[in-house]
């Protein structure tokens, strides 16, 4: 039923991308297919793009949008399976598993995010499978389950960096319950441990000896989006160095304290949990899986550092105030408040059982909410990894109420349906409309230009699929008009509204739209 309801969104707006990120994704897939497996792009890890690119190699590239979205829909169905398995693992209740899976399948946020090509759906799916793997391990520990969970965690991190929050969540559970799990070579010897802390702290301090210009050069080099260096870059680098220095001081202090005889007993109690081998094997396995999937992050380390830092800088410097209030409003507008009520009941019921997995879910959820809430920019899709956790707790709450207050449960489920049905209907209705970018593409294609010059978020990839030569203009080229050297009669310039103020040269509009950013088609005024 969910598949049939969501399928029309696969064909939405074809042959034009439905989202800015989707247009970028198609560009990455094109480079992987026709240029090189080295993406020279690391704002996202590459597992999703390598997987999609490998499968789509067997279809014409012009069909990338359709088949890519179709595969995304299949991944979304798999996400519901992961939610079902996780809910059943912790409750052994088919009702809890069914409700958790249904809330995941019919979440308006997840319906929207899975309707275009982006990494979020696979990231959330692998995260849920990783949580399921860790739940199985903590319920019945053995080496095979631990390794499977660690590998899937590595695959999740290889899809989106945010999945790294799984690691501290697992480590917290290890700190409180790890001594109950049998393991060969349980802890690191004190001598090794203290030496490791001191060496790590000293290594971080040595970073201060590297000239600031070196970091600025990394930021500057080969960056399509961040080709210049401004005060924000310097501020970001300095704040990052301060955090590294703080980490260095903590490591050195821990290493020294663990060797002071007078504090040996206290330090031993405090640091003993952190000496468990499993914690460091987890980091090692996740790192190995990440490098196996993203080997070019090692070979192209300068670009990797630049792109990774650029994403962090965007989140840190977009505004001044944290955006956590936006997520409350977005949940109200997009999702069901009744799901939150059921999730609170489920969280309370789960906590009463005092299971390690419940702590794992709580820590991961809190870390994710803290990360997205304290950032200075946010999008609805950032709620994607949170939605299945609330659905999971809602399923647990439903199972608890079914045993005690069935009438209340039925009323809550009816309220939930009343909230979700109109919002899902709104999402599905998008499938039968087109956006302003689609209209602009049709006009541009009908004009049959020799070359399309484009700036901003214009339908570049789509025009390229249609067989037109194109040039993607930088802000500098648009401002100086340097691209006009290659201009021929009949060529088109496509810009979005925010780029109009940068334009140099005499142009007249052929077509424009004021919807959203606004798309403008212009030709050179020879008069």
Verify that 268 and 176 share a domain, yes or no.
no
The C-alpha atoms of residue 302 and residue 50 are separated, in whole angstroms, by: 21
- 304 within domain boundaries: no
Verify that 81 and 161 share a domain, yes or no.
yes
- pLDDT for position 315: 63
Verify that 202 and 129 share a domain, yes or no.
no
Verify that 369 and 501 share a domain, yes or no.
no
Verify that 41 and 108 share a domain, yes or no.
yes
In 3D space, the residue among 300, 380, 454 whose CA is nearest the CA of residue 108 turns out to be 380
pLDDT tens for the chain, 527 residues: list them.
999 999 999 999 999 998 888 988 998 998 899 888 888 888 889 999 999 999 999 899 889 999 999 999 999 999 999 999 999 999 999 999 999 999 999 999 999 999 999 999 999 999 999 999 999 998 888 889 999 999 999 999 999 999 999 999 999 888 877 666 666 556 777 778 788 888 988 998 888 888 877 777 766 644 444 445 555 667 667 777 888 889 899 888 888 877 775 555 555 566 667 777 888 889 999 999 999 999 998 888 878 877 777 766 666 555 667 788 899 999 999 999 999 999 999 999 988 877 788 889 999 999 999 988 888 788 899 999 999 999 999 999 999 999 998 999 999 999 999 999 999 999 999 888 888 889 999 999 999 988 999 888 888 888 888 888 888 888 788 888 888 888 888 899 998 888 887 777 788 888 888 765 688 898 887 66
Total domains in the fold of the chain: 3
Residue 452 bridge partners (DSSP): 470, 492
Q: Range of 267's domain?
A: 190-275
Q: Strand, coil or helix: what is 204? A: helix
- 402 within domain boundaries: yes
Verify that 246 and 174 share a domain, yes or no.
no
> Is the bond preceding residue 15 a cis peptide, omega within 30 degrees?
yes
- 159 within domain boundaries: yes
Verify that 142 and 204 share a domain, yes or no.
no
- pLDDT for position 105: 95
Verify that 139 and 214 share a domain, yes or no.
no
Verify that 24 and 169 share a domain, yes or no.
yes
Query: Which 8-state DSSP code applies to residue 37?
Result: S
Q: Strand, coil or helix: what is 108? A: helix
- 51 within domain boundaries: yes
- Kindly give, in sequence order, each residue whose CB lies less than 8 Å from that of residue 11, ignoring residues fewer than 6 positions away: 66, 431
Structural domain ending residue among the three candidates 219, 247, 275: 275
- 171 within domain boundaries: yes
- 84 within domain boundaries: yes
The C-alpha atoms of residue 373 and residue 325 are separated, in whole angstroms, by: 8
Verify that 346 and 424 share a domain, yes or no.
yes
- pLDDT for position 426: 92
Strand order in the sheet with 451-455: 469-472, 451-455, 492-496, 519-524, 507-512
Long-range contacts of 484-488 (CB under 8 A, 24+ apart): 484/524, 486/451, 487/453, 487/524, 488/450, 488/451
**Whether the Cβ atoms of residue 350 and residue 392 lie closer than 8 Å to each other:** no
**Whether the Cβ atoms of residue 62 and residue 465 lie closer than 8 Å to each other:** yes
- 337 within domain boundaries: yes
Structural domain ending residue among the three candidates 275, 308, 342: 275
Structural domain ending residue among the three candidates 212, 245, 275: 275
Verify that 353 and 471 share a domain, yes or no.
no
The C-alpha atoms of residue 380 and residue 327 are separated, in whole angstroms, by: 7
Verify that 35 and 150 share a domain, yes or no.
yes
- 301 within domain boundaries: no
Length of the chain: 527
In 3D space, the residue among 244, 234, 236 whose CA is nearest the CA of residue 318 turns out to be 236
């Amino acid at each position: 039923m969910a598949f049939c309801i969501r399928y029309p969104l696969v064909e939405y707006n074809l042959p034009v991308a439905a989202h800015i990120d989707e247009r970028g994704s198609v560009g990455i897939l094109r480079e992987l297919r026709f240029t090189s497996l080295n993406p020279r792009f690391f704002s996202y890890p590459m597992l999703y793009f390598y997987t999609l690119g490998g499968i789509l190699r067997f279809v014409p590239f012009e069909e990338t949008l359709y088949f890519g979205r179709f595969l995304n829909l299949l991944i979304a169905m798999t996400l519901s399976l992961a939610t079902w398995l996780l809910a059943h693992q912790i409750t052994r209740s088919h009702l809890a598993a069914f409700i958790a899976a249904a809330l995941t399948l019919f979440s308006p946020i997840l319906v929207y995010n899975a309707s275009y090509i982006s990494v979020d759906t696979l990231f959330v799916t692998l995260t849920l499978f990783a949580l399921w793997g860790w739940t199985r391990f903590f319920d019945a520990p053995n080496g095979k389950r631990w390794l499977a969970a660690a590998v899937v965690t590595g695959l999740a991190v290889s899809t989106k960096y945010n999945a790294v929050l799984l690691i501290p969540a697992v480590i917290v559970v290890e700190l409180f319950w790890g001594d109950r799990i049998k393991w060969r070579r349980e802890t690191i010897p004190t001598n090794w441990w203290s030496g490791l802390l001191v060496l790590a702290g000293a290594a971080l301090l040595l970073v201060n000896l590297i000239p600031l210009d070196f970091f600025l050069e990394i930021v500057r080099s080969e960056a399509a989006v961040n080709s210049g260096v401004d005060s924000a870059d310097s501020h970001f680098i300095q704040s990052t160095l301060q955090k590294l220095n703080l980490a260095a001081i903590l490591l050195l202090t821990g290493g020294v304290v663990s060797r002071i005889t007078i504090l040996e007993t206290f330090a031993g109690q405090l640091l003993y949990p952190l000496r468990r081998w499993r914690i460091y094997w987890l980091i090692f396995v996740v790192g190995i899986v990440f490098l196996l999937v993203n080997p070019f992050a090692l070979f192209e380390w300068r670009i990797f550092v630049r792109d990774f830092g650029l994403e962090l800088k965007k989140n840190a410097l977009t505004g001044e105030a944290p955006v956590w209030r936006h997520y409350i409003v977005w949940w109200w507008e997009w999702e069901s408040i009744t799901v939150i009520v059921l999730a609170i009941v489920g969280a309370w019921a789960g906590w009463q059982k005092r299971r390690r997995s419940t702590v794992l879910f709580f820590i991961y959820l809190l870390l994710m909410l803290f990360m997205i809430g304290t950032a200075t920019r946010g999008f609805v899709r950032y709620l994607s990894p949170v939605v299945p956790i609330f659905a999971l707790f809602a399923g647990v709450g439903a199972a608890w109420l079914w045993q005690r207050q069935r009438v209340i449960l039925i009323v809550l489920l009816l309220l939930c349906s009343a909230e979700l049905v109109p919002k899902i209907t709104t999402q599905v209705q998008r499938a039968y409309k087109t956006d302003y970018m689609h209209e602009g593409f049709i006009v541009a294609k009908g004009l049959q230009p020799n070359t399309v010059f484009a700036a901003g978020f214009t339908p570049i990839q789509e025009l390229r699929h249609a067989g037109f030569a194109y040039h993607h203009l930088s802000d500098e080229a648009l401002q100086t008009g340097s691209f006009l050297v290659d201009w021929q009669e009949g060529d088109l310039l496509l810009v979005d509204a925010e780029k109009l103020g940068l334009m140099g040269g005499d142009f007249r509009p052929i077509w424009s739209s004021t919807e959203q950013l606004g798309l403008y088609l212009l030709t050179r005024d020879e008069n």
